[in-house]
Structure 1
Amino acid sequence: MMDKKQLIINLASNIVAFSSSFIISFILTPYLINHIGKEAYSFYPISNNFVGYIAIITIALNSMLARFISINYNCGDYNKAKMFFSSSFYSNVIVVLLLFVPMLIFVLNIDYVLNIPEALVDNIQALFFLVFFSLLVDLVSTVFGVATFVKNRLDLRALFEILKGILKVILFIVLFYFFDASIIFVGIVSVCVSIFNLFIQYSFSRKLMPEFIISRSNFDFDIIKILLSSGFWNVINALGVSLLLGMALFLTNRYLGPSASGDLSLAMMLPAFITTIISMMASVLIPRMTKIYATNSLSDFISEVVFSQKILTMFTTVPILILIVFSDYFFKLWLPNDYSIVLTQLSMILLIPLIIHGNMWCIYSVNMVVNKVKKLSIILLGFGIINIFFCVIWLDFLYKSYLVIPIISVVINLIYYLIVVPMCTANNLGVKNNIFYKPILKSLFFSIIFIVFLLYARGYLLIDSWFSLFFYSICFGCLGLIAHLFFLLNKEECFNILKLIKR
């Protein structure tokens, strides 16, 4: 019961952290656009995408680290857990030293890679350098962030996310108040937050796992081999994700120019926050799944996976549907000077696959927990290559449109996550292929009913202010959440959740 109580605490605290992050970005994004322009702003999410491309190199070392430390720690093998801890730290420091020069060369030649207005080249180079430097700082802090995962204290991580959001606001206010507006400020804030992250994560590590200290005597090349061999397929997986989901802004910039990539970066605002919700909630559920896998039977583990799948989809599906139906109102109120129907169209297209992602995230994570990611990684890489191939062929030889890239990506995305992921996961566990489909089909059936209801109700609503938009969204959100709860969960699961919330 205590574990489930901690689960609720983790969920609640992460929801608070996400809400604060959303509010901060909600206010800052239009402010940045008004001061530095849509074209300049578009290079910030592009720089983050390039950080993701570079981070793929480090995934082999870090993607399975929390899994190995958690399993060894929960099984009582503390010495081996400490070896993973120290070996990972020293390996990341070496990677940081190796990456610095190539990253610097890339930054100096960034105008050959991206379509950048001449007046912005120097600023974009500075932005990329600062964002890349923040990545290197984050790599050093990676191992310390494992502590909250191992101890299942993700409420502390959520508290830290709130503090990071407050720090961002303070830094932006100071910079914009005392200096002329510049996209470089985004990079400066990123570096400051990364340094703050390093110190806080180190503090959490010392508090939660004081016996875990960095020691050269615990460095072991065999441990690095284990991490690399287990994480190799996660590298392939990450490369596939980048090709399938992370190349849209880059391709739009190259083929359609910085203005089009500016529209796409703004349209990605809502999908990005929903993805953050899904990732955040999954990060709360996965440590518990990992612990049960290490200490319980396969049947208990599968039951926990299905329960986590239901919880995640229950809390994410309704917000996605509301955003799809009311996205035009959101953009008209949020960006009155830059609104166009393009933003609504792009946002709706990009939101659709997230209905499936909410169902699939925990199921997909099962493969990392059981350390069987090879098959899915190879398939995902193939899907990513197919996505880039069709996008390039279409834009080069058929028709250039801002809708081409997101539509192709969404179609391929749905095929992969709706068909490939659940069947491969079931196969890896040695269970029936359809074991995860009942909650998926229930949720999709509910989504059809609820979105028809929302479209019908929309015709009777007058939404002309933030108050009316939030009021109707909250009303429909509460109604949809309650309906989805009883539609998706059985009586025992509903009773357990209500009892846990009460406790």
Structure 2
Amino acid sequence: MMSTKGVRYEMSLNLGTNFLALVLNILLGLVVVPFYISKIGVDGYGIVALATSFSAYLSIVTIAIDAAVGRNFTLAMRKDDHMASNAIYSSSIIAAILLILALLPFIAWFLYDIKDIISYRSYPAGEMRWVFVAIITSFILTFIRGLFLVPAFASNKIYIQRFIAILEIVVRTALIFLLLNASAKLSLIGIAFFISSLVSFVAALIWIGRKFPFLKLRMHYFDQSIVRYIGSMSFWLVINQIGTLLFINIDIILLNHYYGATATGEFSTVAQWHTLLRSFAGVFVAIFTPVVYKYYADKDFSNLLKFSKYTVVAMGLVLAIPIGIIVAYSDVILKLWVGERFTHFYPLMVLLTGHLIFNLSVLPILSINSVYNKVKVPGLTSFFCGILNLVLGILVIKTFNWGIYSVAVVSAVLLTVKNLIFSPTYAAKILEQSPWFYYPSILRGCGLFIWVLLLSWLGRHLLLPGSWTGLILSAAVIGLCSIPFAWFVSLNKDQRLLIGKLIRRRI
């Protein structure tokens, strides 16, 4: 059984590398978007965002497979069962390759008819088609890389996954700047995506070969029963992912269809902050989830229960300050970041980010569904809510003259209802706890969020920042003034004692 000290050490290492990846994502993301707009225009950036969104729809299968394989491979690894580990490893990778081959006709049809499916301007269909080909190929390489790196997840070495992801981010960004500065062609962006994914894929193969020499990708390890078992679990996870993506990624597809490429580019630009906050939350989900799996594998249900509750508190507290500041200073951020022409979209930015204090706080407990293999009900709930989001989105677009705000309103309301009512109560039911088990933890983060908004309102009245330096200083002051509230109001006595103990051990 893994010691508490070992868990803390690995969590610290994972947290550090996750934050490094996050900082790079934020910094490079904030720089790359204005660079895109300056080189290829808002329409061009809208096409890139649409291509990455299409890849996200393909991920409905891949994310589900990763989750199912990760769970079963972790249980096998914890038992030191090399035979079962090799069977799961080879079976999952071979099955994934066969699945990709099966999807190729659909992808080929989409690419062939792309000019009739996608609304675009200013760029030839061939150039746009190449962008989609390259980004989809990049996504496929990333998916297969994730399966090769399942041992890193199972051994709680998330930092390896992050180092390889950082390599991909750095190579892609460097290539984008070099290639677009040489020639502002949309197709060059696709080349940057493809090469960076290929480099990171090779790096993953080298690491796995050196650190897990007993793992071999062999046809004779292929086991149909393993594929069927993983497939049965993956099916409901796929249904869940379809619903999730109908919440997150359907927006720009509807906007592209009803309002065109320019509206898609404008929405995608503002939505970048929504994406960054999700990435920020993903840092913590990535380090929390393997620990939940380990507690479950070790049958340490007492610590699993406590840990799952603490993760919700931690997520809410670390999100409250950045979300509160982004909401309060949305107009200032847009003006400094992409210029005056985007400032009037600040209500959209508030709409896209404000509800995340609720919807991201519950992310850590979603792993409870997977680890207990209780994925059918969440899958159906997410799927039907996603379909409802699509239907209501179309109705609102056709009924009201809300423009690019239409889909954002519907998504925010439905996602919040789902994650505030269903997600915490279902996880509590799995753990045989009261339906209200997680709500005090959720409310702690919401209380800090309100406090940050009040401080920001006061700060804006005293001094409205006119530069990045001023905005950063204002954010730092608000953050520092929020720490006492978080410590004395948001955290309870047991949580303060736990954090104090961890700090003393570090010192």
2-structure distance, mates of 1:13, 1:496:
23
1-structure distance, mates of 2:61, 2:16:
33
Is residue 2:246 matched to residue 1:243?
A: yes
Structure 1 residue corresponding to 2:179, chosen from 158, 175, 197: 175
TM-score normalised per structure 1: 0.95
1-structure distance, mates of 2:219, 2:68:
21
What is the aligned partner in structure 2 of residue 226 from structure 1?
229
Is residue 2:168 matched to residue 1:164?
A: yes
Q: Is the 1:164–1:193 Cα contact (8 Å) retained in structure 2? A: yes
What is the aligned partner in structure 1 of residue 425 from structure 2?
423
1-structure distance, mates of 2:388, 2:52:
23
Deviation larger for 361-370 or 138-147: 138-147
What one-letter code is carried by the residue in structure 1 that aligns with 2:292? M
Note the C-alpha offset of 1:184. Answer: 1.7
Note the C-alpha offset of 1:333. Answer: 0.7
What one-letter code is carried by the residue in structure 1 that aligns with 2:162? A
What is the aligned partner in structure 1 of residue 382 from structure 2?
380
1-structure distance, mates of 2:279, 2:398:
33
Q: Is the 1:271–1:351 Cα contact (8 Å) retained in structure 2? A: yes
Relative to 1, partners in 2 of residues 1:407 and 1:5: Cα closer, same or farther, differing over 3 Å?
A: same
Structure 2 residue corresponding to 1:309, chosen from 288, 309, 312: 312
Relative to 1, partners in 2 of residues 1:500 and 1:199: Cα closer, same or farther, differing over 3 Å?
A: farther
Note the C-alpha offset of 1:498. Answer: 4.3
Relative to 1, partners in 2 of residues 1:482 and 1:212: Cα closer, same or farther, differing over 3 Å?
A: farther
Q: Is the 2:328–2:453 Cα contact (8 Å) retained in structure 1? A: yes
CA shift digits 1:318-354 (9 cap, x unpaired): 1111111112111111112642312x11111010221
Note the C-alpha offset of 1:97. Answer: 2.2
Deviation larger for 393-402 or 67-76: 393-402
Q: Is the 1:60–1:228 Cα contact (8 Å) retained in structure 2? A: no
Note the C-alpha offset of 1:490. Answer: 3.0
Structure 2 residue corresponding to 1:133, chosen from 133, 137, 147: 137
What is the aligned partner in structure 2 of residue 369 from structure 1?
371
1-structure distance, mates of 2:60, 2:444:
35
Q: Is the 1:96–1:139 Cα contact (8 Å) retained in structure 2? A: no
2-structure distance, mates of 1:209, 1:313:
36
Structure 2 residue corresponding to 1:52, chosen from 44, 50, 56: 56
Deviation larger for 411-420 or 436-445: 436-445
Structure 1 residue corresponding to 2:202, chosen from 199, 212, 220: 199
2-structure distance, mates of 1:207, 1:492:
43
Aligned pairs (5 A) from 1:446-485: 446-481=448-483, 483-485=485-487
Deviation larger for 279-288 or 76-85: 76-85
1-structure distance, mates of 2:121, 2:415:
32
Equivalent position SS for 2:362:
helix
Note the C-alpha offset of 1:102. Answer: 2.6
What one-letter code is carried by the residue in structure 2 that aligns with 1:259? T
1-structure distance, mates of 2:124, 2:461:
44
CA shift digits 1:269-291 (9 cap, x unpaired): 11100000111210111101110
What one-letter code is carried by the residue in structure 2 that aligns with 1:24? L
Q: Is the 1:463–1:469 Cα contact (8 Å) retained in structure 2? A: yes
Structure 2 residue corresponding to 1:67, chosen from 46, 63, 71: 71
Note the C-alpha offset of 1:72. Answer: 1.6
1-structure distance, mates of 2:312, 2:178:
43
Is residue 2:81 matched to residue 1:102?
A: no
Equivalent position SS for 2:361:
helix
2-structure distance, mates of 1:386, 1:165:
35
Note the C-alpha offset of 1:358. Answer: 2.9
Note the C-alpha offset of 1:410. Answer: 0.4
TM-score normalised per structure 2: 0.94
What is the aligned partner in structure 1 of residue 37 from structure 2?
33
Listed as ranges, the gaps of 5+ residues in structure 2 are: none
Give % identity.
22
Structure 1 residue corresponding to 2:153, chosen from 149, 153, 174: 149
Note the C-alpha offset of 1:195. Answer: 0.7
Q: Is the 2:452–2:478 Cα contact (8 Å) retained in structure 1? A: no
Structure 1 residue corresponding to 2:336, chosen from 324, 333, 340: 333
Aligned pairs (5 A) from 1:340-351: 340-342=343-345, 344-351=346-353
1-structure distance, mates of 2:371, 2:140:
27
Q: Is the 1:387–1:409 Cα contact (8 Å) retained in structure 2? A: yes
1-structure distance, mates of 2:400, 2:456:
36
Note the C-alpha offset of 1:374. Answer: 0.8
Relative to 1, partners in 2 of residues 1:327 and 1:228: Cα closer, same or farther, differing over 3 Å?
A: same
What one-letter code is carried by the residue in structure 2 that aligns with 1:272? T
Structure 2 residue corresponding to 1:190, chosen from 193, 206, 210: 193
What one-letter code is carried by the residue in structure 2 that aligns with 1:157? Q
Aligned residue pair count: 501
Is residue 2:340 matched to residue 1:324?
A: no
Note the C-alpha offset of 1:481. Answer: 4.3
Relative to 1, partners in 2 of residues 1:345 and 1:245: Cα closer, same or farther, differing over 3 Å?
A: same
What one-letter code is carried by the residue in structure 1 that aligns with 2:146? T
Equivalent position SS for 2:462:
coil
Q: Is the 1:40–1:120 Cα contact (8 Å) retained in structure 2? A: no
Relative to 1, partners in 2 of residues 1:140 and 1:440: Cα closer, same or farther, differing over 3 Å?
A: closer
Deviation larger for 412-421 or 203-212: 203-212
2-structure distance, mates of 1:169, 1:401:
32
Note the C-alpha offset of 1:496. Answer: 3.3
What one-letter code is carried by the residue in structure 1 that aligns with 2:229? I
Is residue 2:407 matched to residue 1:405?
A: yes
Q: Is the 2:317–2:448 Cα contact (8 Å) retained in structure 1? A: no
Equivalent position SS for 1:11:
helix
